Amino acid sequence: MASKKRPLIGITGPDKGGFIAWFFAAIAVRRAGGKPRRIRPDMNREIPPLDGLIIGGGADVSPELYGAEELEQLRELSKDKRGRRWLRFLFFFVSFGITLVRKLFSLGHLAGPDPKRDELEKKLLADALERGIPVLGICRGAQFINVHLGGTLHQDISSFYNETPKAETIYPRKKILITEGSSLHDIIGSGTAKVNSLHNQAVDKPGDGVALVAREPNGVVQGLEIAAHPFVIGIQWHPEYLPQIESQQNLFRQMVTLARVHNS
Domain assignments of the chain as residue spans, ordered by start: 8-263
Spell out the CATH class of 8-263: alpha beta
Whether the per-residue pLDDT at 2 is higher than 70: the answer is no
Residue of 172, 175, 141, 142 lying closest to 242 (CA atoms): 172
For strands 52-55 and 221-226, give the pairing.
unpaired
Contacts of 91 (CB under 8 A, 6+ apart): none
Q: Work out the average pLDDT over 24-36.
A: 98
At residue 164, the pLDDT reads: 77
pLDDT digits (tens, 9 = 90+) for 53-67: 999 999 999 999 999
Residue of 248, 237, 243, 254 lying closest to 56 (CA atoms): 237
Q: Work out the average pLDDT over 120-144.
A: 97
Q: Work out the average pLDDT over 66-72.
A: 83
In this structure, are residues 185 and 213 in contact, taking their beta carbons and an 8 Å threshold?
A: yes
Bigger pLDDT: 176 or 112?
176
Share of the chain above pLDDT 70, in %: 83
Whether the per-residue pLDDT at 82 is higher than 50: the answer is no
Bigger pLDDT: 160 or 85?
160
At residue 72, the pLDDT reads: 61
At residue 88, the pLDDT reads: 44
Q: Work out the average pLDDT over 219-233.
A: 95
At residue 106, the pLDDT reads: 45
Local confidence band at 97 (pLDDT 50, 70, 90 cut-offs): low
In this structure, are residues 196 and 172 in contact, taking their beta carbons and an 8 Å threshold?
A: yes
The helix (H) or strand (E) run that includes residue 100 is: helix 97-105
